Amino acid sequence: MAGFDKRVNSYAEAMAGLSDGMTVIAGGFGLCGIPENLIAEIKRVGARDLTVVSNNCGVDGFGLGVLLEDRQIRKMIASYVGENALFEKQLLSGELEVELTPQGTLAEKMRAGGAGIPAFFTATGVGTPVAEGKETRQFNGRDYLMETAIVGDFAIVKGWKADWYGNVIYRHTAQNFNPLAAAAGKITVVEVEEIVAPGELEPTQIHTPGIYVDRVILGQFEKRIEQRTVRC
Amino acid sequence: MALSREQMAQRVARELQDGFYVNLGIGIPTLVANYVPEGMEVMLQSENGLLGMGAFPTEDTIDADMINAGKQTVTARTGASIFSSAESFAMIRGGHIDLTVLGAFEVDVAGNIASWMVPGKLVKGMGGAMDLVAGAENIIVTMTHASKNGESKLLERCSLPLTGAGCIKRVLTDLAYLEISDGAFILKERAPGVSVEEIIEKTAGKLIVPDHVPEMQFA
């Protein structure tokens, strides 16, 4: 019981405490490495007015796209949202607010959030619409924008394997934003394909140390492919 | 004749060097991977967190957890590494990528690039393009020289919102290879059978035409 054992047995337990108006950071790139069951649980719970931070917003009917169906997302912070007709409709009707953020800046905002750094300077976006309203400073003769960190009330993460203590390993390019999201959540929930006993994961191979993780749950995954391309 | 997409990729591939780490954007830039010269080794970076992108998988080896930045299923080559998005953009922003190739809507004589947003049309997002142009020293933009309506995309000043300011030095279009320096495009090469006059006519920004402009050669 308890100690460092982060395992929970139901998705309801995994997302307990989620409420209206919260900020949720989600790992994933496109549909690769998305916490698909945790997203589905947010839909089931029905929390509204959410700010969702994720590189993309899923597709119609899958991934974060399902949270648009009942208008649960008030604001989306993402780098690319082009794969989703419902997103487009809600954006044009003004029901949904979007803050487009360069991909590297988005990654660093999450990383900074998890690392206790409130803001950082980057050359990305200088001279573009992204720079509007942001402080600019010169270092070594070049202009840089100040970008602020993001911390989530919840971070939802998809891992490959985790142990009871919440140490996580990601599989291939399903890593993407997941370790950054994991560190940036006040409550971090990780769903994985396999849970193993402590000691079974090689310590030097851990991507996300358990200190960042609050809850671990075992899931079944569809792993939908967005662009199926094969060698001819 | 204007260059085909394949010829544009072939021409860009001549800028590759053995041992280069290269980021290729979506579209024509992706095709560059097909023309890496024999005996040369380059490592392709995909900004979703893969250095050493390989060929597309076979039906048997397709894996939903193995994609590139275009969200296509891919493989990793021997010697590849896989990492987080923060690590990926540390490489990009930190200037560790030897060559970046990407498309654009417009480029101007100041080296500004516009590639992500057309006001009045739906804005889908900049993805990693702003980080790529801000971080790379060596960038080649590939695009058609003029729009379908014949309007030049090589301008005195970009009309669309920028992706990056003052960061582009080289442009390959379907008509010409140009460099940007001291507030002008410099015509370096022309596509086979394309006249200098046509390039002058289709370049809205200040263009410097040297006495001799060699024609690109293709096998």
What interface predicted TM-score (ipTM) does this complex get?
Answer: 0.97
Q: What is the SS3 assignment for B9?
A: helix
Determine the pLDDT at residue B109.
Answer: 98
The answer to the question of residue B218 being in a domain is no
Mutate to test the interface with A, among B45, B83, B84, B159 (most CBs of A within 10 A): B84
Determine the pLDDT at residue A48.
Answer: 98
Write the pLDDT tens digit of every residue in A99-156.
999 999 999 999 999 999 999 999 999 999 999 999 999 999 999 999 999 999 999 9
Length of chain B: 219
Q: A-chain residues within 8 Å CB-CB of B128?
A: 79, 102-104
The answer to the question of residue B156 being in a domain is yes
A67 has a pLDDT exceeding 60: yes
Determine the pLDDT at residue B31.
Answer: 93
Length of chain A: 232
For chain A, the average pLDDT equals 96
The answer to the question of residue B62 being in a domain is yes
Domain span at residue B189? 3-206
The answer to the question of residue B179 being in a domain is yes
A1 has a pLDDT exceeding 80: no
- The answer to whether the Cβ–Cβ distance between B48 and A88 falls below 8 Å is no
The answer to the question of residue B212 being in a domain is no
Stretch 135-164 of chain A: residues touching chain B, C-beta under 8 Å:
160
Q: Are A78 and A68 in contact (CB under 8 A)?
A: no
Active site residues of B: 47
> Which CATH number do you get for residue B149?
3.40.1080.10
The answer to the question of residue B163 being in a domain is yes
Closest residue to B125, CB basis, from A79, A126, A226: A79
Scanning every residue of chain B, which has its alpha carbon at the shortest distance from the alpha carbon of A90?
A: B122
B1 lies within 8 A of chain A by CB: no
The answer to the question of residue B33 being in a domain is yes
How far apart, in whole angstroms, are the C-alpha atoms of residue B4 and residue B6? 5
Q: Are B198 and B209 in contact (CB under 8 A)?
A: no
* Dihedral (Cα; B213, B216, B217, B218), 10-degree rounding: -170
Q: Which of B130, B60, B131, B139 is nearest to B98 (CA)?
A: B139
Determine the pLDDT at residue B219.
Answer: 81
Q: Could you tell me the two tokens for B127?
A: 């993805």
**Full-model pTM:** 0.97
Determine the pLDDT at residue A181.
Answer: 98
Structural domain tally of chain B? Answer: 1
- The answer to whether the Cβ–Cβ distance between B124 and A78 falls below 8 Å is no
Domains of chain A: 11-116+151-218 (3.40.1080.10)
A18 has a pLDDT exceeding 60: yes
Residue A155 pairs with which residues in a beta bridge? A25, A188
Scanning every residue of chain A, which has its alpha carbon at the shortest distance from the alpha carbon of B48?
A: A176
Write the pLDDT tens digit of every residue in A173-210.
999 999 999 999 999 999 999 999 999 999 999 999 99
In the chain, the amino acid numbered A170 is Y
Mutate to test the interface with A, among B85, B121, B122, B160 (most CBs of A within 10 A): B85
How far apart, in whole angstroms, are the C-alpha atoms of residue A232 and residue B47? 25
- The answer to whether the Cβ–Cβ distance between B130 and A82 falls below 8 Å is no
- The answer to whether the Cβ–Cβ distance between B84 and A231 falls below 8 Å is no
- Cβ within 8 Å of residue B104, ≥6 positions away: B113, B114, B115, B141, B142, B143, B153, B163, B168
Q: DSSP string spanning chain A?
A: --TT--B-SSHHHHTTT--TT-EEEE--BTTBT--HHHHHHHHHHT--SEEEE-S---BTTBGGGHHHHTT-EEEEEES--TT-HHHHHHHHTTSSEEEE--HHHHHHHHHHHHHT--EEEESTTTTSGGGTT--EEEETTEEEEEEE---EEEEEEE-SEEETT--EE--GGG-TTHHHHHHTEEEEEEEESEEE-TTSS-GGG-SB-GGG-SEEEE-------SB-----
Residue B140 burial (CB count, 10 A): 20
The answer to the question of residue B141 being in a domain is yes
Averaged pLDDT, groups of 10, chain B, 219 residues long: 96 97 93 94 97 95 96 96 98 97 97 93 91 95 96 98 97 98 98 97 98 94
